[in-house]
Amino acid sequence: MKLYCYCLCADLDTFDNSVSGVSGAPVRVLRIEEISVLVSDCETVAATRENMLAHAAVVRSAFTRTTPLPFRFGTLATEQQLRSFITTNKRALANKLAYLRGCVEMDLKTTWQSSNSSPPKPNPASGPGTAFLMEKRRELLGDEQAAAHRAELSDLFRAELGSLIKEEKIGLQPPEKTVPIKVFHLVESARIQEYRDKVQELREKRPELQLEVSGPWPPYSFANIELEFGSQFGVS
């Protein structure tokens, strides 16, 4: 029998039985190396909306009592694999749980583009070789401009929200200009209202940012330990 994994918690001994897990399975607490893991006994899990929402509901339920380290949807492992993972990464996981304790994730979206963020377009009259090189140049310039844009956004949020942000992650700029850039902030739960007020002030001061904010979320965007983040795509 495999275990479907929802989240890790530092200090959760029981779980609310009224919240069902994926495929309606009951959720139980498994203690490994002083870390609580919320799991369901499950061989397979279908990638359905209901199961994804069940995953979110279990994590959210834990979130009302403590700060969980959420697993990504679809995490199935044997108990042995889970024990091995936690034992091997015990220190990194404990440090991450301690770091996230009392914090929430707040998400911002903006469609704002800085004035110089459009890379040059290739000349349609050029030959195939020139067009190829121009396109590569355009890609490289686009990446550089996207990085500069992210830095610009980060500076702006640091200036306006400053001490409220414990950590920040900014998504890569999508090539389509109409797709919002996502910004994730780790914020102490006691300062959520202060954060909302500051974002509202920023929205009024800079309406062109078209800021949209959602949260508080469990810290999904800050959950990965570095070792796992690097290895999850086979990159050491």
Partner 1 sequence: MPDFDQMIVSEEWENTDVSLLETLDHVLSRGLVIAGEITISVADIDLIFVGLNVLVSSVETAHEVLRKRETE
Closest of 64, 86, 88, 63 to residue 75, by C-alpha:
86
* CB-nearer residue toward partner 1: 118 or 126: 118
CA-to-CA distance for 222 and 70, rounded, in angstroms?
Answer: 9
Range 20-29, long-range pairs (CB < 8 A, 24+ positions): 20/54, 20/57, 21/54, 21/55, 21/58, 22/51, 22/54, 22/55, 23/51, 23/54, 24/54, 27/58
Q: Contacts with partner 1 in 123-162 (CB under 8 A)?
A: 143
Which residues are 31's β-sheet partners? 36
Q: Which of 19, 25, 28, 74 binds partner 1 (CB under 8 A)?
A: 74
216 binds partner 1 (CB under 8 A): yes
Taking the least distance from each CB to partner 1, the nearer of 80 and 115 is 80
We find the least distance from the C-beta atom of residue 189 to partner 1, in angstroms, to be 5
User: Could you tell me which stretch among 9-17, 23-31, 55-63, 113-121 binds partner 1 (CB under 8 A)?
Assistant: 55-63
Contacts of residue 181, Cβ cutoff 8 Å, sequence gap at least 6: 109, 110, 111, 112, 149, 150, 153, 170, 171, 173, 174
Q: Considering only the stretches 9-17, 127-135, 150-158, 207-215, report the one whose residues sit in contact with partner 1 under the rule CB under 8 A.
A: 207-215
Tell the smallest beta-carbon distance from residue 8 to partner 1 (Å). 7
Number of residues that this document lists for the chain: 236
Member of 17, 18, 64, 236 binding partner 1 (CB under 8 A): 64
Closest distance of CB 166 from partner 1, Å? 15
Closest CA to 206 of 142, 161, 167: 161
According to the binding rule CB under 8 A, does residue 101 interact with partner 1?
Answer: no
Q: Which long-range contacts (CB under 8 A, 24 or more apart) does 170-176 make?
A: 172/146, 173/117, 173/146, 173/149, 175/142
| Residue in 116, 118, 126, 214 binding partner 1, rule: CB under 8 A | 214
Q: What number of chain residues touch partner 1 (CB under 8 A)?
A: 56
- List the x/- string, 10-49, binding to partner 1 by CB under 8 A: -------------------------------------x-x
3-state SS, residue 198: helix
Q: Which of 83, 192, 194, 206 binds partner 1 (CB under 8 A)?
A: 192
CA-CA distances (angstroms) from residue 34 to 6, 8, 17, 167, 179?
17, 11, 22, 26, 42
Contact residues for partner 1, defined by CB under 8 A: 5, 7-8, 47, 49, 52-53, 55-56, 59-60, 63-65, 69-77, 81-82, 85, 104, 107, 143, 171-172, 174, 189, 192, 196, 199, 211-218, 220-221, 223-225, 228-229, 231-235
